[in-house]
Amino acid sequence: MSSRWQDQKAEIAKAARRLAGLGLVAGSSGNVSVRLPAEEGRELMAITPMGRSYDLLQAEDVVVVDHEMEAVEGELAPSSESLLHVAVYS
């Protein structure tokens, strides 16, 4: 399934795998996100999911949510620290 945010999601997954490869994170600790353009008045971000090991993370695993934590795209739960990322982007 193709995503309109495929490039951004792929970059997040690549960054997470790199962090894991460098030993800067272990398992699913740490988070990577990117602010996405707003759509229909909704502020959006793509973020790593909760509980997914970063050394295996793929673009399809990355979750897109609005700033109210409503899922926009993805099957997994967003990071438990998503609200911290929202605060940074706000």
Catalytic annotation present for 81: yes
Token pair of 28 as six digits = 């699913």
**Per-residue burial over 57-74, b = 16 or more CB atoms within 10 Å of its CB, e = otherwise:** bebebbbbbbbeeeeebb
CA dihedral over 82, 65, 28, 55, signed as positive or negative: negative
What residues act catalytically?
81
